[in-house]
Amino acid sequence: MAPGCGRAGPPPSEGRLAIENVAKWRQLYLANHGRKPPADEAEFLAFIEKKMQERGETFDRDTFLVSPRDGQKYVIQYGKESANLGENSVAVHEKEGYRGKVLVAFESARSSEVDAAELPSLLAKP
C-alpha cells in the first residue's frame, strides 16, 4: 500500500527501534573496522549475518534494512569516514518516511523524527 492511502502505520516505537537497531549495528561495524564504515550494503549485511550466526541467531537479510513505517530500504551512509563525523551526524534515515516525517538515526545511534523538509539540512551538517 502506498503512503497516505489510509494505512494507519506501525506504532512509532516500532520504527524507532528498527532504525536504532540498524544504527547500532553500524556502530559495531565501525568499532570492529577501525572506524571505517562498510563500503556498501552487501559488506554491511555480510558482517551482521556473520555476527548473528556466531550468536546462534537467525537473520533476515530481506527485511533488516527496510523501514516498517514506509516499507523502503533505509538510506545508510556507506563508505563515509566516521572519524570526523560528530555524534549528531546522520548515519541512517528513512527514504520516504511517514506522513511528512522521516526517522533519522545519528552516529550516536540516537533517533529522532524530523520533518522531511528538514532532512537535507541535517545531511549537509558535518
> pLDDT of 20-41, one tens digit each?
999 999 999 999 999 899 999 9
Q: In this predicted structure, what is the pLDDT of residue 124?
A: 85
Question: 12 is written with which cell numbers?
Answer: 512509532
pLDDT band at 2 (very low <50, low <70, confident <90, very high): very low
Give this prediction's pTM. Answer: 0.85
Q: What are the residue ranges spanned by the domains of the chain?
A: 12-124
Q: In this predicted structure, what is the pLDDT of residue 83?
A: 47
pLDDT band at 1 (very low <50, low <70, confident <90, very high): very low
> pLDDT of 78-96, one tens digit each?
986 654 567 788 999 999 9
The answer to which of 51-65, 81-95, 107-121 has the lowest mean pLDDT is 81-95
Q: Is 80 or 99 the better-scoring residue by pLDDT?
A: 99
